[in-house]
Structure 1
């Protein structure tokens, strides 16, 4: 099969929404080349491999490469992608240079290209994210392993917004808790909650492709007895209450669901929010406080913010 590579030069803030746009357009894989990676000090004591070539990265900003099958609808699909990215500015999202280029590649090239960027990564006190093809041995008896295959998932679980969510789950989830994951994507947060002892986890996503991917990852990590993945529009129509609700989505959408979250989270329970660029920190904080939440902890990683909010 022939594939077309669409390459988008954008800003860090736009990586998550653009990635989602590309997957919804039918992308068969995504590679993210972030110039910030060259500035980080990486350790390899957990088995990571960081031998980065500066030629693989842009001088500034982020390059997102996605792969679309070459067919009669390709031109129309690309135009829809461009328009959707441009529309992100209506949400006050910085899309950077927004330079889009197209080229043709062979399937073998993109099918393995991203693997050099994805190795076992310890992301918190307890959790290590491991690609399915790696033979990884835990370094401690209480280490929790989440296996992911980015070939079928939305992300590798190592983005700052996801890492902060998992760290927040460690601080809040207790054995026997009920957890709701809003906008589950790859399902990694639901898997983490189950491994932390939650007895019942409900994962929602509006995108049927994400629902399918999350179900595969849930089964891969053998937590399907505790995690139920369903297609749903955020918290719309959700009955009952949860001890913890976690949502790693755009700040503007978090603001819209704070009242719904207040109705779902038990008094004394927690609402974990991430996906918040620093410029939107106060916007989300104000919405949470208005909706009967108290900010218990603020997590910051790179340009991103996450809140652990407690229901009053």
Structure 2
């Protein structure tokens, strides 16, 4: 089968929504080529991840690449992708150059090439994420391992927004907590919550493929009896009480359900939000404070922000 690689030259801010657009258009995988990866210092234990070719990366911005089957509908699909990306401007998302190119690739090449970028990586004090095809031995007795199959375009769990979320969850979650994950994607935050001691995790996503992805990854980590994945729009019609709510999605989406989050959380409950580009930090912070949250912590990694807030 022939495949076409679509490459969008865009910004860090646009990675998540564009990745979602590509997935909805039928992409079987997404690769992010961010030049900041070339300069990052990492532990030598995971040296393989440094084997990156600078020629693959833009001088500024990022490349978001995906793979689409070459068929009679390819032209229409590409036009729909372009239109959907342009529509992101309505939400004040910076698209950068927004330059889109197409090239043909062989099936064997695209199906395996992206895996060379994805190696075991420690993303917090306790948690290490490993791809299912990699062998890995824990380096400490208290290390928590998350196995992840990112093959459905929901990412590898190593994006700064995910890292910030997991680091916040390490501080937020206590034994026997009930956790809600809003916009679960691949389920990495649900899995982290369960492994950190949560009694029950309810993972909600509007996309039924995300629901299936969360279920697959929960089973990989033997957590199918703790994580309940369901298709749902944010916190609509959710009437249970939770100790912690976590959400790693766009700032524009977070502000839509802060009232519901406040309603659902128990007194003293924590709301962990990420996916916030730094320019939108105050928008989310003010929205949280307006409904009665107390801001406990604001953390930053590269251009991304995470906020931990408490229901008074």
Deviation at 1:46, TM superposition (A): 5.0
Tell me the residue number matched to 1:21: 21
Deviation at 1:47, TM superposition (A): 6.0
Deviation at 1:48, TM superposition (A): 5.1
Q: Which moved more, 1:129-138 or 1:39-48?
A: 39-48
Q: TM-score, normalised by structure 2?
A: 0.98
Counterpart CA distance in 1 for 2:73 and 2:201 is 38
Structure 1 pair 124/143, CA: closer, same or farther in 2 (3 Å)?
Answer: same
Tell me the residue number matched to 2:185: 185
String of CA shifts for 1:79-110, please: whole Å, max 9, x gaps. 11101111111111110100011122111111
Tell me the residue number matched to 1:291: 291
Tell me the residue number matched to 1:169: 169
Contact 2:23/2:152 (<8 A) preserved: no
Contact 1:153/1:185 (<8 A) preserved: no
**5+ residue gaps in structure 2?**
none
String of CA shifts for 1:232-266, please: whole Å, max 9, x gaps. 00000001110000000000110111001001111
Which of structure 1's runs of 4+ aligned residues deviate more than 2 A? 45-49
How many residue pairs align between the two structures? 312
**Within the alignment, does 1:218 sit opposite 2:218 as a pair?**
yes
**5+ residue gaps in structure 1?**
none
Q: Which residues of 2 match residues 124-163 of structure 1 at below 5 A?
A: 124-152=124-152, 154-163=154-163
Deviation at 1:153, TM superposition (A): 5.3
**Within the alignment, does 1:2 sit opposite 2:25 as a pair?**
no
Provide the secondary structure at the position in 2 that maps to 1:294.
Answer: strand
Provide the secondary structure at the position in 1 that maps to 2:256.
Answer: helix
Structure 1 pair 178/153, CA: closer, same or farther in 2 (3 Å)?
Answer: farther
String of CA shifts for 1:173-228, please: whole Å, max 9, x gaps. 11100000000000000000000111110000001111111111111111001000
String of CA shifts for 1:40-62, please: whole Å, max 9, x gaps. 22222356531221111111110
Deviation at 1:14, TM superposition (A): 0.5
Deviation at 1:152, TM superposition (A): 3.4
**Within the alignment, does 1:68 sit opposite 2:71 as a pair?**
no
Counterpart CA distance in 1 for 2:34 and 2:41 is 14
Deviation at 1:291, TM superposition (A): 1.2
Counterpart CA distance in 1 for 2:233 and 2:69 is 28
Structure 1 pair 153/103, CA: closer, same or farther in 2 (3 Å)?
Answer: closer
Provide the secondary structure at the position in 2 that maps to 1:49.
Answer: helix
Counterpart CA distance in 1 for 2:63 and 2:230 is 32
Q: TM-score, normalised by structure 1?
A: 0.98
